[in-house]
């Protein structure tokens, strides 16, 4: 686990952690959390070495880059009513004013608007310096909504915490939630788990940009924990 061990209190109930330490290869990356879900690189996203020496993965939406895991092997993330949380570091290399430059980050969904959940974001599609960030649940269509500021070639830590029927969204450790409609019980299925795309890995691919260490917990992260993660890791990205 990055910057800590499984003894760290912050990592309690951590289900997924992909620190991308490999720095090479086109086949797979390791989930170092205890469940050790198998992860496959699809269409070969490229490795990128940051100035800090950290390796990240570069995604291009036109190339349909993504990371996937079979639904049958990640059933522990097919949440229904329980609390859960997640974070991921994100950097768009360009922010064109178009919805074609999309950015789904973490998704556990089978059929759109039918089952599962996902954290999805678009960059500055309105040209006002703010992105659109949503946490979606299906089949209810309930969602949390935020508009964090977005600048090209800048790293952001995006995250969420879902408790009951409410979800809070975080950017760089700060609660940026604008609204959260009532989230119903999530529909379950043997859904593919995906990083960098949604709807069974067939649409809304992320990019162009880079991602680092998606994480999922089967508990509610506290606001202080979202800030702790940001403060522990921000120096890696110069923010």
Residue 156 lies in a domain: yes
Number of domains in the chain: 1
From the list 1, 13, 8, the residue with the least C-alpha distance to 161 is: 13
Residue 227 lies in a domain: yes
Structural domain of 169: 9-237
Task: Note whether 193 and 159 are within 8 A (CB).
Answer: no
Residue 3 lies in a domain: no
Residue 131 lies in a domain: yes
pLDDT for the residue numbered 3: 46
Q: Report the chain (239 residues): mean pLDDT per 10 consecutive residues.
A: 62 95 95 94 96 95 89 84 92 69 64 72 80 78 83 93 90 92 64 80 81 96 97 96
Q: Full-prediction pTM beyond 0.75?
A: yes
* Cβ-Cβ contacts under 8 Å for 191 (sequence gap 6 or more): 71, 78, 108, 109, 110, 115, 116, 200
pLDDT for the residue numbered 185: 61
Which CATH number is 32's domain given?
Answer: 2.60.120.200
From the list 15, 19, 23, 16, the residue with the least C-alpha distance to 3 is: 19
């Amino acid at each position: 686990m990055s910057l800590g061990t499984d003894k760290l209190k912050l990592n309690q109930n951590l289900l997924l952690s992909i620190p991308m330490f490999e720095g090479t290869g086109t086949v797979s990356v390791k989930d170092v959390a205890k469940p050790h879900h198998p992860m496959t690189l699809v269409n070969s996203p490229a490795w990128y070495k940051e100035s800090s020496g950290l390796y990240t993965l570069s995604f291009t939406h036109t190339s349909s880059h993504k990371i996937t895991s079979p639904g049958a092997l990640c059933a522990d993330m097919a949440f229904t009513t329980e609390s859960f949380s997640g974070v991921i570091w994100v950097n768009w290399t360009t922010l064109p004013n178009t919805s074609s430059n999309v950015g789904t980050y973490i998704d556990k969904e089978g059929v759109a608007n039918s089952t599962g959940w996902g954290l999805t974001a678009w960059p500055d599609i309105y040209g006002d310096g703010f992105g659109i960030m949503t946490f979606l649940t299906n089949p209810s269509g309930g969602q949390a909504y935020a508009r964090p500021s977005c600048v090209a070639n800048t790293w952001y830590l995006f995250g969420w915490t879902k408790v009951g029927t409410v979800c809070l969204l975080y950017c760089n450790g700060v609660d940026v939630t604008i609204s959260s409609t009532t989230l119903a019980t999530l529909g379950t299925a043997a859904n593919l788990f995906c990083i960098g795309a949604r709807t069974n890995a067939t649409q809304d691919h992320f990019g162009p940009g880079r991602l680092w260490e998606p994480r999922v917990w089967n508990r509610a992260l506290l606001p202080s924990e979202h800030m702790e993660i940001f403060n522990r890791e921000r120096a890696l990205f110069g923010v």
